[in-house]
Amino acid sequence: MPSLKVHHIGYLVKKMDAAINAFQNLGYKTAQDTIYDDIRKVSICFLQKDGYLIELVSPVAKDSVVSGLMKKYKNCPYHICYETEHFEQDYMTLVSDGFTAIDTLTPAPALQNREVVFLMSPFLGMIELIK
Ligand code: NI
């Protein structure tokens, strides 16, 4: 079994400022200022409440990585991100368990440029893995 630790929940939002405001009204605090990820063409803001870290992701261009998802799902949680101390090993385990990588390891500006990869499972959808 991979040794995964939940890092954050990725949450798709249509309007970043309005979403931050709505989450703040529920008691969330901003954990990091909104940044623009020019690789994925999204803006990203981390919010925190009760030990949970929520990553708001909002498309900034029509060809952003989440534009397709946004059309389908509107505002909703769409991935859980995991950290691991054994990246190579856990990555291989996930692949042999039926996950398929949908991109390659790419730096994430919102995570101090740590590299991340997204994988899909036919049974639980998308996960993100931080190297
Ligand atoms: Ni994420």
For the chain, 131 residues long, give each residue's pLDDT as a single digit of tens.
Answer: 888 999 999 999 999 999 999 999 999 999 988 999 998 999 999 999 999 999 999 999 999 989 998 998 889 999 999 999 999 999 999 999 999 999 999 999 999 999 999 999 999 999 999 99
The pLDDT score that the predictor gives to residue 2 is 82
Give 8 Cα–ligand 1 centroid separation in angstroms: 6
Q: Which residues surround ligand 1, an ion (CB under 5 A)?
A: 10, 55, 81, 128
The pLDDT score that the predictor gives to residue 7 is 97
Give 79 Cα–ligand 1 centroid separation in angstroms: 7
In sequence order, what DSSP letters do the residues of 57-113 get, joined into one string? EEE-STTSTTHHHHHHHSSEEEEEEEE-S-HHHHHHHHHHTT-EESS--EEEGGGTT
Give 22 Cα–ligand 1 centroid separation in angstroms: 20
User: Which residues 6+ apart lie within 8 Å of 78 measured at CB?
Assistant: 10, 11, 12, 57, 66, 69, 125, 126
